[in-house]
Amino acid sequence: MSDPSVRPIRADARANEDRLLAAAATAFARDGVGATLKQIAKDAGVGIGTLYRRFPTREQLVDATYRYETARLAARTVDLLRELPADRALRTWMSQVLDYLAAKHGMADTLKTLLQNDEQLSSQTREQLTGAIEEFRLAGITQGVIRGDVPSPDILMALAGVTLAAGAAHQRAQAERLLDLVMDGITRPDTWHGTTP
């Protein structure tokens, strides 16, 4: 039975929150630590008071943005698997992980503190991303394009390695090449031919 004292968030408030979080992710990716709350509110089309009512501190906004972007990334599996074969869908998703990390980089200092102080948040992120990879992996095994002997946590670790080695914006081309190498390792050799024709 639901708690009558907990009021559901209104639809307009939810829409404002989604716009704020999307604007924050874009601002953190674009401006890094220089992203201002005033500009984020403006980009979201709301007043600064609306932002502060929902996220009284920068830390709370960073936390919510990180959770929002992680959930959004994990949820992309359904659309990608509907549009593409599983190996291509996974490779496209991996590129989107690089975009996700650009936003994360702009929140790095605050996010580092949050993750150190909230082990559950770090664990939840791993679970969401591993779950997304597992969806691609199982679809790929069924389609005969992804090897069945490479577990999803290993794929996530390989992806994390790419982002650690070549996660900066100026390294994007190298990161994409490294992602192709990861795909070479997890796909069946007779099905994968890289991202270029």
Q: What is the pLDDT of residue 195?
A: 59
Lowest pLDDT segment from 41-45, 123-127, 192-196: 192-196
Are residues 40 and 71 located together in one domain of the fold? no
Q: Hey, which residues does 187 pair with through a beta bridge?
A: 146
Q: How far apart are the first and last CA of the chain?
A: 56
Alpha-carbon gap, residue 94 to 100, rounded angstroms? 10
Query: 50 is in which domain, residue-wise?
Result: 10-56
Are residues 197 and 154 located together in one domain of the fold? yes
The answer to whether residue 166 sits within a structural domain is yes
The position carrying tokens 């975009």 is 99
Residue 122 belongs to a domain with what CATH number?
1.10.357.10
In which element (H, E) is residue 17 found?
helix 11-31
44: CB partners within 8 A, 6+ apart? 16, 19, 20, 22, 23, 24, 51
Are residues 50 and 68 located together in one domain of the fold? no
Domain count, the chain: 2
In which element (H, E) is residue 91 found?
helix 86-106
Query: What tens digit of pLDDT does each residue of 42-101 get?
Result: 999 999 999 999 999 988 998 899 899 899 999 999 999 999 999 999 999 999 988 887
Are residues 51 and 24 located together in one domain of the fold? yes
pTM greater than the 0.75 cutoff = yes
Are residues 164 and 110 located together in one domain of the fold? yes
| Percent with pLDDT over 70 in the chain | 87
Q: What is the mean pLDDT of residues 27-31?
A: 84
